[in-house]
Structure 1
Amino acid sequence: MKVLTARKAQATQDGAGVKINRIAGFDGKSLDPFLMIDELKSDDSGDYMAGFPAHPHRGIETFTYIRKGGFEHRDQMGNVKAIRSGDVQWMSTGRGVVHSEMPLADAVDGMHGFQIWLNMPAKEKMRAPRYQDSAVTGVKTVETAQGVVLRALAGDWHIEGQTVSAHLQGLAGDGALADVVMPANSKTTLDLSEHGKALIYIHSGNLLDERFGQMIQLTLDPTEPVILESGAHGVGLLVLAGNPINERIAHMGPFVMNTQEELHQAIRDYQQGRFGDIV
């Protein structure tokens, strides 16, 4: 495994004061086709119960994965869904979405989840929004001989000679995501050679190389086999892969477009009610 860069997530707040750890890549290069990795991990309900009240998006895809706890999603398309532990949700916002994400009333024993933003190609930013979640299909899982478990959240995955295709396909930039949990002192190999960008985010434990523990994001060389080795306490990591879009980015809050004028138009459209309202 060839590590190209290593970054530590930065503590910040979003929504109505929800505490998160963030890896940001709005430069259009460091994470491309991804824009942002947000991790919410806390056993203190005060860190997250205020949630994310109604807000807009344009020009991005949001991918949510819950490991513990849960949120209720509502949007102007009429979707009202409970996203619980083990679930994934994908929303391709296109020309405009208004949604809210509020903690479920029974999510009182802690929360652990991710929201990932992906950039949409310029030619698709103004198409109709799309929504999908795993409430009906579930998430496919594969386990290796050493007890390494890969949960295929989106896209196609190759691990130890096994291939698994997630139910969720077609993310921007050929995006693929998986949650890999490895027991103590184990080893596994991923083939990410189909992708131009390969990232991992460590959410629990640490790799055998103890420099790489929780809240560390690594950018890897996808042309080489990704050989992962866990430390004495095991490791859990989110793996993200995709193909860079390589387009100019203009970013302001919940909007990601290609020019400043497009950003200003997004704000005008939202202010004039063209995104719709949550029913």
Structure 2
Amino acid sequence: MSLRPTLETRQAALTMEGAGVRLHRAFGFHDPSELDPFLLFDDFRNERPEDFIKGFPWHPHRGIETITYVLSGTVEHGDSLGNTGTLGAGDVQWMTAGSGILHQEMPKGNAQGQMHGFQLWGNLPSSQKMTAPRYQDVQGKDIPEIIDDDGTRVKVIVGTFWGQTGPVDGIAADPQYLDVFVPAGVKKTFPIDTYRRAFAYVFDGAGAFADASAPQGVLLEKEVAGEEVNIRDLSGDRTLIRFGSGDEVTVQAGPEGIRFLLISGAPIDEPVAWHGPIVMNTQAELQQAMRDLQNGTFIKPAH
């Protein structure tokens, strides 16, 4: 087994999206090859309704898939296909924009006025850019949760892990999307397919991710799989950890435990032409999408 080195640790950046929603962006709109097949990851978490209530009014998407995971509050959604619905706490929605869709997402707080959720964008390969749009909504009760003997808990949202398979399937990026909690003081190793790009996003508590490549900034030294590795300073709330190649990651939970998303996917390795919510392979395809928006042909008839 080989430990994945930590390529980068960075804080998610505060930004504004939609009609005035304050959120933290871990990555997006920079180098799309960094975490290919993933393009963008947003953490929308607010304590005040005025920071999110205006939501994300009608806007287009083409050429991507989005995975929305709600932890608290609700998100009401509607689209140009006539679909409507509400995502509640623990629920997941996977949307394939494909050839084009117009939709809106309007967050509503819980009884305390709080809202928390994540949105991940996955790229579509050129062969699937213009497929028919589709949705999959999954209720939280249908997401399997594994509880290990040491108290580690893993919700398997997408992919297969420790013998359990998540209910969301058919995503082109073929991701593994896990919601992980490791209790205080516990050290845990998680396998990841060698050929996938991978990142972790910490959103509660803190911990240290083992890094075989960096002797500096050592917090602890541990024996992992027979190799001496270094565990960097604790990573806390809203921290992105981008991993290099290998087939496992190890985390040492801090004094309050750590909860994080562990996400990996097979790279597509294709050119990316990107403008806002539209992601194609060439500038010509991007320009065509803009013309379609202007002349009213963005939404393609169902075949």
Residues 106 and 228 (structure 1 numbering): CA distance in 2 closer, same or farther, change over 3 Å?
Answer: closer
Unpaired segments ≥5 residues, structure 2? 209-231
Aligned 8 A contact 1:210 1:231 in 2: no
Indicate the residue corresponding to 2:275 in structure 1: 252
Within the candidate set 263, 266, 272, 1:240 is matched to 263
Aligned 8 A contact 1:195 1:241 in 2: no
Indicate the residue corresponding to 2:238 in structure 1: 215
Find out whether 1:9 has 2:32 as its counterpart.
no
Aligned partner of residue 240 in structure 1, secondary structure: strand
Within the candidate set 52, 59, 63, 2:63 is matched to 59
Bigger CA drift: 205-214 or 225-234?
Answer: 205-214
Indicate the residue corresponding to 1:179 in structure 2: 179
Q: CA deviation at 1:71?
A: 0.5
Aligned partner of residue 71 in structure 1, secondary structure: strand
Q: CA deviation at 1:64?
A: 0.1
Indicate the residue corresponding to 2:96 in structure 1: 92
Q: CA deviation at 1:137?
A: 6.7
Runs of 4+ in 1 over 3 A off after TM superposition: 104-108, 208-211
CA distance in 2 between partners of 1:83 and 1:60 (Å): 20
Indicate the residue corresponding to 1:268 in structure 2: 291
Unpaired segments ≥5 residues, structure 1? none
Question: TM (normalized to structure 2)?
Answer: 0.85
Aligned 8 A contact 2:20 2:51 in 1: yes
Indicate the residue corresponding to 1:37 in structure 2: 41
Within the candidate set 21, 25, 32, 1:22 is matched to 25
CA distance in 2 between partners of 1:107 and 1:195 (Å): 43
CA distance in 2 between partners of 1:191 and 1:43 (Å): 35
Larger radius of gyration: 2
Q: CA deviation at 1:46?
A: 1.2
Aligned length: 273
CA distance in 2 between partners of 1:261 and 1:243 (Å): 26
CA distance in 2 between partners of 1:267 and 1:113 (Å): 30
Bigger CA drift: 112-121 or 216-225?
Answer: 216-225
Within the candidate set 114, 119, 123, 1:115 is matched to 119
Deviations 1:198-235 (A, max 9, x none): 11011111114444111111112352321222100111
Aligned partner of residue 39 in structure 2, secondary structure: strand
Question: TM (normalized to structure 1)?
Answer: 0.92
The one-letter amino acid paired with 1:251 is W
Q: CA deviation at 1:266?
A: 0.7
CA distance in 1 between partners of 2:111 and 2:80 (Å): 24
CA distance in 2 between partners of 1:101 and 1:24 (Å): 20
Deviations 1:130-167 (A, max 9, x none): 1101038721111111111111111122xxxx321101
Structure 1 vs Structure 2 CA RMSD: 1.9
CA distance in 2 between partners of 1:220 and 1:120 (Å): 22
